[in-house]
Chain A
Amino acid sequence: MSNISSTSVLSPSVPSNQGFGLYLVVGCIVAVLGFALPFMGLPKNLLSLLTSASISAILATSVGFLVRQAGLSSFGHAAFFGGAAYAVALLVNYTSLPSEVVILATPLLIMVLSGIISLILLRTNGIAFSMLSLAMAQAIYELVMKWRDLANGEDGLRIRFAREIFGVKLSFFQKADTMFLTTWTALVVMVVIVVLVSRSNFGTLTIAIKNNEERARFLGYRTLWPRIVVLMLSAFIAAVGGTLFSMYNGYVTPSLLHWTLSGEALIIAIIGGTRSVWAPAVGAFVFVILRDVAGNYTTHWQSIVGLVLIAVVLALPNGLGGALTSFANRLGGRKNG
């Protein structure tokens, strides 16, 4: 008898249906609490931090979703995140398209482009995929750095948004207390989307393909297209994050396309854990707050983040999300499934 049970944060499993109702209730409470935060009189710098954390959470959700549903660790998601931010900047600055159209269309544009790129990326798996995605993102980074006439190189671009977007003043999207509501709403919607997808028949198929692609093919399924759709959805979510970033900051720089941002998103996903679709978002809030607190004490805050990462990998192989799930299951008197 052999029990083949992987517990790595990078080899997630499908959560059982048991207890989904509990997760739903807790999720709704957390979502509502989030919407109440700007009205609780929190300091502006804390709200600013939470707004940044929400945007990071969206990016981490996209990376975690790709790991969970396709078993792919991307080192190139900065291309989708930063690519969206730059697309907004370039389209707003150099075309006559209304800002609203640009903001709504950019994630879809990035999603379509990711579908084309995925035809190459998804010919590979594992390390090869990670390296290819890294190469793709770095190529875009270099393009932006070198093409000064278009993207102003390392100095970046200020985005010349219209004074009003969607009928409200631009400042609504650039002040933390009001923008947080937008980023939080987007995060909640993105998490709901990945929950629905992961629990659908399509989600089951993608997990099956991730587990055993050849067997899925022998059952009669096409295996490339579902993987492409997962990557496209993941890219779409990352692009939503990038679009929100561009709105909030009104400025883009090449660092948004650098591989370190992709690495950071993957680290956040590992800290949060990828067994549950919501866990990378939890990881993002912990990461951003930890980075801020550590940054107040030392300029070498990366060392502290590194130590936390080591501690999480060693002590919580399923990440913070896995630990929370185990705790909730213990409270409910059930064995962790």
Chain B
Amino acid sequence: MAERYMLEARGLTRRYGGFAALNNVSFALEEGEIRGLIGSNGAGKSTCMDVLTGRGKNPMGLVMLDGEDISKLSERERRAKGLSRSFQKTSIFHDLTIREQIRLAARKAEADNSEEVISELSLSHIADRPASDVSYGDQRRVDLALALVGRPKLLLLDEPAAGLTVEESLAMARMLRGLSERWKLTVMLVEHDMEVIFAICDRLTVLHLGEVLTEGDPESVRSNPEVVRAYLGSSFA
């Protein structure tokens, strides 16, 4: 019997004219795993996230969520199946208070864990303020909170630590690790901050020019000469 994964991607491809931003990319995530998706700019990481979530047109390949083929579903339908994401650029609702928007997300997810999420992400003290009035770091946590409401099966995070201080990044990494363990949350994480990646990821997939360069646990990836040459540089080796 074939092993059942929380996320299985097979042959993901996206072309823009003659250029393949993503070319035959395959990987699989087990339940509760935190997977880092790394690579240099233009490697295809965000495109991979977009294809997984159904954003954009005409992707090729198969996306299986918890054993179910969701390749043909819209982003809205994939969310209903338990696939949630955050965005590279903070994507929140600036005119709503933090509580209003998290409740809005909870209503659709039909799971009222909005107060739990507010508490987990330490947003209680600013929950009734409009999102436009809080700091960038808080806005990033609101972005994450919107993705976490309803306890999704799979969480895709596109550079959640972008723009955060080292301290804030590591705090977010610790929080994610804790949530993943307690909620059995499967996470796929695109991140340039290697401190965050190595702090919380169980496995890494390295993309290079739209293809999978290698995959493995953080230590083996860190010591892979090809990865060092293509992405990490000698300081992380």
Contact = CB atoms under 8 A, between A and B. Distances in A.
Given A1-B135, A218-B53, A219-B105, A12 B85 contact: no
Nearest to B128: A16
A208 B101 contact: yes
B41 to A, nearest CB: 22
Interface string B128-143: 1010110111000000
Given A1-B137, A208-B101, A217 B94 contact: no
A217 B146 CA distance: 12
B15 interface: no
B109 interface: yes
B56 to A, nearest CB: 11
A220 B76 contact: yes
A212 B108 contact: no
Contacts of A205: 104
B87 A215 contact: yes
B133 A214 contact: no
Contacts of B31: none
Given A4-B132, A218-B53, A204 B146 contact: no
Contact of A219 (B79, B128, B135, B136): B79
B76 A221 contact: yes
A201 interface: yes
Nearest to A5: B132
From B93, B96, B107, residue with most partner A Cβ within 10 Å: B93
Contacts of A201: 104, 107
Interface string B26-55: 000000000000000000000000000100
Contacts of B202: none
Interface string B63-104: 000000000000110011000110100011111110011001
B217 to A, nearest CB: 31
Interface string A1-13: 1111110000011
A222 B79 CA distance: 12
A337 B135 CA distance: 16
Interface residues of B, number: 30
Given A201-B107, A218-B53, A211 B133 contact: no
Contacts of B75: 217-218
Given A208-B101, A212-B92, A218-B85, A1 B136 contact: yes
The prevalent SS among residues of A at the interface is: loop
Contacts of A92: none
A207 interface: yes
Interface in A217-254: 217-222
The prevalent SS among residues of B at the interface is: helix
A186 interface: no
A309 interface: no
Looking at chain A, what size class is its interface with the partner chain?
20 to 34
A334 to B, nearest CB: 13
A216 B76 CA distance: 9
Given A2-B136, A13-B132, A14-B100, A219 B95 contact: no
Contacts of A2: 135-136
Contacts of A14: 95-97, 100, 130
Given A2-B136, A214-B91, A337-B130, A207 B96 contact: yes
B132 A219 contact: no
Contacts of B85: 218
A132 B87 CA distance: 32
Given A6-B132, A16-B97, A219-B79, A208 B104 contact: yes
Interface in B104-153: 104-105, 107-109, 128, 130, 132-133, 135-137, 146
Contacts of A4: 94, 132
Interface in A1-47: 1-6, 12-14, 16
Given A13-B95, A14-B95, A212-B93, A219 B104 contact: yes
A219 B79 CA distance: 6
Interface of A: 1-6, 12-14, 16, 201, 204-205, 207-208, 210-212, 214-222, 337
- Counting from the closest, the 9 A-B pairs by CB-CB distance are A13-B95, A220-B79, A220-B108, A1-B135, A211-B93, A5-B132, A215-B91, A208-B93, A2-B136
30 contacts: A1-B135, A4-B94, A5-B94, A6-B94, A12-B95, A13-B94, A13-B130, A13-B132, A14-B96, A14-B100, A14-B130, A16-B97, A207-B95, A208-B93, A208-B101, A208-B104, A211-B96, A212-B94, A215-B91, A215-B93, A215-B146, A217-B75, A218-B75, A218-B84, A218-B91, A219-B104, A219-B108, A219-B146, A220-B80, A221-B108
